[in-house]
Amino acid sequence: MQVKGISAYGAYVPSLRMSRKAIAQAHSWALPSLRGLGKGTRAFCSWDEDAITMAVESVRNCLKNGADGAAPIGALTFASTTAPFADYQNATSVAAATGLPSNIQASDASGSLRAGTSALLNALQNSRSESALIVASDCRLAKPGSVQEMHYGAGSAALAVGSDNIIARFVGSESNATQFADHYRRSGADHDYYWEERWVRDEGYMKIVPATVNTLLEKTGTPADAIQHFCMPGTLARLGAGLAKKLGINPEAVVDNFAADIGDTGSPQALLMLIAALEKASPGERILVVGFGAGCDALLLEATDAITEYQPAVPLSTVNDHARTVEHYNQLLSFSGQLQLDWGMRAEVDNKVSISQLYRSQDQVTGFNGGECSSCGAVQFPILSTCVKCGSTEPMSRKSLADESARVATYSSDNLQYYPAPPMYWGLVQFDNGARLLMEMVDVNAESFDVGTPLRMTYRIKQKDDSRGLHRYFWKATPF
């Protein structure tokens, strides 16, 4: 029987960071106690980001790391507690945007914050020979003025699971389905309801996690002090250190939980911590990953010799290199839909999405595939019946622009038309393969943005149809 494990990984965290001090100051008139939590930042989604767009970015980063000769991707699982759709498969949208074949098995996982670890566990225990992709993504929404508003974050993590070229082999696992409610959110509700923090820590984490982990360690014959990396999600104070002490794990093994600058990302957090451990692990080192929520998952992995040669496309350790701290609290509320501004008559438009047209053009709109002329090699988007360069009417070959390098050819900064994050940047994007396209440009730093700035493509929400609840997605250009 082939040993399964992790063969590749990718992560994505939005560039926007909200200052916790700014949140505390906004509520200081009514909730002065929040000042004690006003340190650091937390990641949050821009108006055009959600769990699907973040999942696409982390999967793209993961697929860039795929080893030659690896088994084809046979399954994709999308894990989230904040998925945009309740009855429309989110995983299918991620697969289409990342160029995965339509004959893969796609599924959604939800129900608790351990949806990500449970999906990973299912893939590792699956006997199928094909590789599988697990992506966890959450854009968490908290009620204004709550403690959760200070703690929550946003992000996504993707892991490729298979038997070829693995960088961490699967050693064993243990699960617990105890009906313990630390928090919950009923169907249709906007915000989570949390129970008392001390009860959650003492009766939940400190009892359920040790019982599950100790069973796993005993089953695999692993001493607690043999764990070099302990991934314990959750942002309760000293949670990881307290559990490590109770389990007998060395305190140096506790992996950073990103509480200081990103926040509690929800279902991706355990997987993000696993990625952080993989970036530091040496061959033979053991990684313990815990997922907590309506029970507990505990997974044990061991780094292989292949990890020394593995180079991630976008290291998680560089996730804060392009972070932009925001001091305007109302921007967080506006982007999350909790503050409805009066944008004037220019915003009074109906953005109805034509489902039939979207289906017919999904290869171009979702997959971002242009055409390459069979006569002169010119690349163009959209695909037309006639080549824009030589006039040939021969059928064009498919050419993806999603991963093509590009630069700013021209741009404008527009404050006149309605845009949820003014000003709107748009202009001509010059691809290195010769294609040119008028595109929207996002996450722009006005001080360093100019003609010639390198660009990469990113999958985002193009327009929101709030009346019917179906948003239109497309590709935008962002500096890097």
Residue keyed to tokens 């966890």: 136
Whether the pLDDT of residue 1 is over 60: the answer is: no
Question: What's the CATH number of domain 5-335, 3.30.230.70, 2.60.40.10, 3.40.47.10, 3.40.50.720?
Answer: 3.40.47.10
The per-residue pLDDT for 54 is 98
Of 256, 314, 291, 301, nearest to 79 (Cα)? 291
Rounded to whole angstroms, the Cα distance separating 153 from 265 reads 5
The per-residue pLDDT for 66 is 60
Is the omega angle on the peptide bond into residue 423 within 30 degrees of 0, that is, cis?
yes
pTM: 0.96
The total of other beta-carbon atoms located within 10 Å of residue 405's CB is: 13
* pLDDT confidence tier of residue 68, bands split at 50, 70 and 90: very low
Q: Cα–Cα–Cα angle for 296, 299, 305, nearest 5°?
A: 165
Rounded to whole angstroms, the Cα distance separating 374 from 395 reads 7
* DSSP tag of 155: E
Q: Which long-range contacts (CB under 8 A, 24 or more apart) does 251-255 make?
A: 253/227, 253/228, 253/229, 254/230, 255/229, 255/230, 255/231
Section 301-306 average pLDDT: 98
Rounded to whole angstroms, the Cα distance separating 388 from 299 reads 54
Which ranges of 181-304 does DSSP label H, i.e. alpha helix? 197-199, 206-220, 239-247, 269-280
Rounded to whole angstroms, the Cα distance separating 119 from 135 reads 9
* pLDDT confidence tier of residue 70, bands split at 50, 70 and 90: low
Tokens standing for residue 118: 């449970």
Paired residues of 427 in beta bridges: 411, 439
What residue segments make up the domains of the chain, in order of their start?
A: 5-335, 345-479
What pLDDT, in 10s, does the model give residues 414-441?
998 999 999 999 999 999 999 999 999 9
The per-residue pLDDT for 69 is 46
Whether the pLDDT of residue 14 is over 80: the answer is: yes
What pLDDT, in 10s, does the model give residues 311-350?
999 999 998 888 999 999 999 999 999 999 999 988 888 8
Share of residues in the chain with pLDDT > 90 (%): 87
Distances (CA, A) of 31 to 23, 24, 37: 11, 8, 11
User: In angstroms, how far is CA 399 from the centroid of its own chain?
Assistant: 26
What pLDDT, in 10s, does the model give residues 465-478?
888 888 899 999 99
